[in-house]
Structure 1
Amino acid sequence: MSILAEPMGSLLKLVYDLIGNYGISIIIFTIIVKMILLPLTIKQTKSMKNMQEIQPKVKALQEKYKNDKEKLNTKMMELYKEHNVNPLGGCLPLLVQFPIIIGLFTALREPWNYVFSMSQEAYELMDTSFLWLPNLSEPDTWILPITAAALTYFSSKTMSAGKEVQQTQKMMTYFFPVLIFVMGSDAIGVGFPAGLTLYWVINSGAQIIQQVIINKPSLPMKGDSN
Structure 2
Amino acid sequence: MKWGFIRVAILYDLLGKLLYGIYSLFQNYGLSIIAFTVVVKVFLLPLALKQTNSMKQMQTIQPKIQALQQKYKNDKQKLNEKMMELYKEHNYNPAGGCLPLLIQFPILIGLFRVLQNPQTYVFPEGTYQHVAQSFLWLPNLGNPDPYYILPVLAALTTYLSTKMMSTSNSGDQTQKTMNMIMPLMIGWISIRFPSGLALYWVVSNVFQMIQQYVMMRSVVSDKEVSR
TM-score (normalised: structure 2): 0.88
Count of matched residue positions in the alignment of Structure 1 and Structure 2: 215
User: Which of 146, 153, 177 is equivalent to 1:147?
Assistant: 153
User: Which of 13, 33, 39 is equivalent to 1:32?
Assistant: 39
Instruction: Indicate if the aligned counterparts of 1:5 and 1:102 stay in contact, CA closer than 8 A.
Output: no
Q: 1:182 to 1:58 in 2, by over 3 A?
A: same
The aligned residue for residue 44 of structure 1 is 51
Instruction: Indicate if the aligned counterparts of 1:158 and 1:211 stay in contact, CA closer than 8 A.
Output: yes
Matched, 1:135 2:140: yes
CA shift, 1:69, in A, is 3.5
CA shift, 1:124, in A, is 1.4
Matched, 1:11 2:14: no
CA shift, 1:205, in A, is 0.5
Report sequence identity in percent.
Answer: 55
The aligned residue for residue 64 of structure 1 is 71
Q: Which moved more, 1:3-12 or 1:35-44?
A: 3-12
* C-alpha RMSD over aligned residues: 1.7
| Greater fraction helix | 2
**How far apart in 2 are the matches of 1:78 and 1:213?**
32
**How far apart in 1 are the matches of 2:206 and 2:64?**
34
User: Which of 105, 115, 121 is equivalent to 1:108?
Assistant: 115
TM-score (normalised: structure 1): 0.89
Instruction: Indicate if the aligned counterparts of 2:164 and 2:212 stay in contact, CA closer than 8 A.
Output: yes
Q: Deviations over 1:27-86 (max 9, x none)?
A: 000000000111111110110221132122122223333444333322211101111111
Matched, 1:218 2:221: yes
Mapping for residues 74-223 of structure 1, pairs under 5 Å? 74-117=81-124, 119-125=125-131, 128-141=133-146, 142-160=148-166, 163-165=168-170, 166-185=172-191, 191-216=192-217, 217-218=220-221, 220-221=224-225
Unmatched tracts of structure 2, length 5 or more: 1-7
